[in-house]
């Protein structure tokens, strides 16, 4: 029988939510609070289908979702807007899931194509992350994402422009949007430029594309970790390679349950990835748009799968290991996480 979140003891729900967490797969454009969307739309005179905050993120198909995604982002225009959305999502992560560190995606061309200067985007996001670090103790770095539906030359130009405005908090290059029509090999040049400049590399991969895209991302793009990766299960040889090489996958239960029709989290491909020995860590993807948060991801996924505290601890610590922090920082964070989890074990599990 499938366990629902409501069947989990209150103590274990609290435990899962209060675990210290790293998040490596979260798109800032998908984190706007509904009330913020309405306020920014009013500020800039942007028309929305509704100003009812309870209806802003109501959709029934992926196409409606994408339409809302674009409309929401059209409300973010000046440096203060970008600072606000970065600050608010980090605040939400801390308060709803004890977030300690995040490496957060943003899509530069979704903004520069609207006439927003690259410096406005980058500087605003970093302003907000620094304010959140000061107020809540949460740290954040940023990953610029190639938007797959852009032509390859636009992606390369984006990387060059990002590098021209690079700041220490901007640490990596990723890739998102619809994978099937625009496979990773189209963007080798953009990744070559990023790698030469010392950016770390990841990509959404085998999300709605084949397992062979995993090999492409590793061998042609030079990715050091991968986002999603569910269709890797279709090729045991690729699974074995990634298990043996310790490739980390940043997986997202709720968003993919909605988009890809895997509503039963006990049979979600993530469970099979864990069973196969792959290194996975949990994330919220586009939390407000999918009506979730990083704490809820742990409560839903780990709770419904009856995962033991030992397994949950492993998932948490795999997040630390998969991060792009320096080795000494990882070691320090791991020790702090272990101590905090030990305390939660005593307090909530007895």
Give the chain's mean pLDDT: 96
pLDDT exceeds cutoff 60 at 62: yes
SS3 140: strand
SS3 174: strand
Residues 262-321 pLDDT 10s: 999 999 999 999 999 999 999 999 999 999 999 999 999 999 999 999 999 999 999 999
Pseudo-torsion of CA 159, 178, 104, 69, nearest 10°? 110
pLDDT exceeds cutoff 70 at 61: yes
Round to whole Å and give the CA distance between 322 and 287. Answer: 20
Residues 2-16 pLDDT 10s: 456 667 899 999 999
Could you confirm whether 340 is annotated as catalytic?
Answer: no
Which residue segments constitute the domains of the chain, with CATH numbers given? 5-32+76-349 (3.20.20.140)
Instruction: Characterise 139 by phi-psi region: left (phi > 0), alpha (psi -120 to 50), beta (else).
Output: beta
Q: Which of 333, 340, 335, 344 is nearest to 139 (CA)?
A: 333
| Stretch 58-63: mean pLDDT | 80
Q: Which of 9, 61, 17, 8 is nearest to 282 (CA)?
A: 17
* Residue 234: per-residue pLDDT: 98
| Stretch 54-81: mean pLDDT | 89
Pairing of strands 204-205, 200-201: unpaired
| Tally of CA atoms within 13 A in the half-sphere of 139 that contains its CB | 14
* Residue 4: per-residue pLDDT: 60
Confidence of residue 65 (pLDDT cuts 50, 70, 90): confident
Confidence of residue 1 (pLDDT cuts 50, 70, 90): very low
User: Can you list the positions of beta strands (E) in 297-336?
Assistant: none
* Residue 5: per-residue pLDDT: 63
Residues 113-145 pLDDT 10s: 999 999 999 999 999 999 999 999 999 999 999
Measured at the CA of 15, the angle between CA 14 and CA 17, to 5 degrees, comes to 65
Confidence of residue 70 (pLDDT cuts 50, 70, 90): confident
Burial 283-293 (b: 16+ CB within 10 A, else e): bbbbbbbbebb
Catalytic residue among 207, 234, 321, 340: 207
Residues 189-237 pLDDT 10s: 999 999 999 999 999 999 999 999 999 999 999 999 999 999 999 999 9
| Stretch 56-64: mean pLDDT | 84
Instruction: Quote the percentage of the chain above a pLDDT of 90.
Output: 93
Round to whole Å and give the CA distance between 7 and 96. Answer: 20
């Amino acid at each position: 029988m499938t366990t629902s979140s409501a069947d989990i003891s209150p103590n274990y729900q609290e435990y899962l939510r209060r675990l210290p967490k790293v998040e490596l797969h979260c798109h800032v454009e998908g984190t706007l609070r509904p009330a913020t969307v309405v306020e920014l739309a009013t500020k800039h005179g942007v028309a929305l289908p509704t100003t009812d905050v309870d209806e802003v993120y109501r959709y029934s198909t992926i196409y409606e979702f994408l339409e809302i995604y674009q409309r929401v982002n059209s409300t973010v225009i000046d440096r203060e807007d970008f600072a606000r959305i970065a600050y608010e999502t980090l605040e939400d992560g801390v308060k709803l899931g004890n977030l300690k560190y995040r490496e957060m995606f943003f899509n530069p061309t979704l903004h520069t194509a609207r006439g927003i200067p690259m410096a406005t985007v980058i500087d605003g996001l970093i302003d907000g992350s620094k304010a959140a670090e000061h107020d809540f103790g949460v740290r954040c770095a940023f990953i610029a994402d190639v938007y797959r539906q852009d032509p390859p030359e636009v992606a390369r130009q984006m990387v060059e422009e990002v590098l021209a405005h690079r700041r220490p908090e901007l640490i990596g290059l990723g890739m998102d949007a619809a994978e099937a029509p625009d496979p990773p090999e189209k963007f080798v040049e953009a990744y070559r430029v990023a790698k030469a400049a010392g950016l770390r590399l990841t990509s959404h991969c085998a999300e709605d594309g084949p397992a062979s895209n995993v090999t492409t991302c590793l061998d042609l793009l030079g990715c050091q970790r991968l986002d999603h990766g569910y269709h890797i299960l279709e090729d045991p040889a690729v699974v074995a390679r990634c298990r043996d090489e310790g490739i980390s996958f940043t997986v997202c239960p709720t968003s993919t349950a909605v988009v890809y029709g895997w509503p039963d989290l006990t049979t979600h491909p993530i469970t099979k990835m864990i069973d196969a020995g792959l290194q996975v860590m949990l994330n919220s993807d586009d939390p407000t748009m999918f009506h979730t948060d990083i704490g809820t991801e742990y409560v839903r996924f780990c709770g419904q799968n009856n995962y033991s505290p030992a397994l949950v601890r492993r998932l948490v610590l795999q997040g630390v290991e998969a991060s792009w922090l320096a080795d000494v920082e990882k070691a320090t964070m791991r020790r702090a996480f272990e101590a905090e989890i030990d305390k939660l074990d005593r307090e909530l599990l007895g």
